[in-house]
Amino acid sequence: MIMPAGRPLLLPVNPRFIGLTLVLALLLHMLLGLWGQYWVPDVLAVTLVFWTVHQPRRVGLVLAFAMGLMVDVHESALLGQNALSYVVLCGLAAASQRRMLWFPLGEQALQILPLFIAAAVVEWLTRLLTHDTWPAWSMLLAPVLQAGLWPLIGAMLLAPQRRAFERDDIRPL
């Protein structure tokens, strides 16, 4: 199999770990939502996109749609508003997934930024169509912050796969 040179071979991912991280991300999203600021980054979106890029066979659009519905109900937004933005986000991510994997996490963050902006634009358009108020400008900061969080969250999510193949290999003695 072709892969970039100098990259360690990762262990297979544990599906339970994906589920756990998604639930934790939803929890964190709810917790940050209590703050009520426009510019708070959407941790759940970052996690969903990360798994869509790295494990497209396990995490995809259907899961993104379901998570979006949950966020809609929690935020008591229009049912389907976040779902649409998550589906568009993950759809774009799945389309650019093969290219993305050739780059290290830092450079992936640059490529993922337009996707987050696109998702924010979709949400913005939905709001304008349903006669909501004009969005605040500080909302534009959220996609940038999400892209900034990408390497950090990515390193955390890949950590279990970076363990040694044989558990005894890293023992100092």
Is residue 71 within 8 Å of residue 30, measured between CB atoms? no
Residues 59-88 contacting another protein, CB under 8 A: 60-62, 64-65, 68-70, 73-81, 83-84, 87-88
Q: What does the angle CA 74 – CA 63 – CA 155 come to, to the nearest 5 degrees? A: 95
Sequence-ordered list of residues with C-beta below 8 angstroms from that of 54, at least 6 positions apart, any chain? 13, 101, 157, 158
Q: Does 142 bind another protein (CB under 8 A)?
A: no
Q: How far apart (Å, rounded) are the C-alpha atoms in residues 106 and 78?
A: 34
**Applying CB under 8 A, does 9 fall inside the site for another protein?**
yes
Least distance from C-beta 153 to another protein, angstroms? 16
Of 14-22, 53-61, 113-121, 149-157, the window that binds another protein (rule: CB under 8 A) is 53-61
For the chain, the first-to-last Cα distance in angstroms comes to: 34
- The size of the interface with another protein (CB under 8 A), counted in residues, is 61
103 belongs to the binding site for another protein (CB under 8 A): no
Contact of 108 with 150, CB cutoff 8 Å = yes
The pairs formed by 133-136 with CB atoms below 8 angstroms and a separation of 24 or more are 135/38, 136/38
Contact between 57 and another protein (CB under 8 A)?
yes
Q: Is 2 in the site for another protein (CB under 8 A)?
A: yes
Q: Which of 37, 12, 25 is nearest to 63 (CA)?
A: 25
Give the binding range for another protein (CB under 8 A) out of 14-22, 48-56, 107-115, 143-151.
48-56
Site for another protein contains 128 (CB under 8 A): no
Q: Does the footprint of another protein cover residue 137 (CB under 8 A)?
A: no
Task: Please give the Cα distance from 123 to 86 (Å, whole number).
Answer: 9
Residues that bind another protein (CB under 8 A): 1-4, 7-13, 23, 26-27, 30-34, 36-38, 54-57, 60-62, 64-65, 68-70, 73-81, 83-84, 87-88, 91, 94-95, 101-102, 126-127, 130, 132-133, 135-136, 161, 165
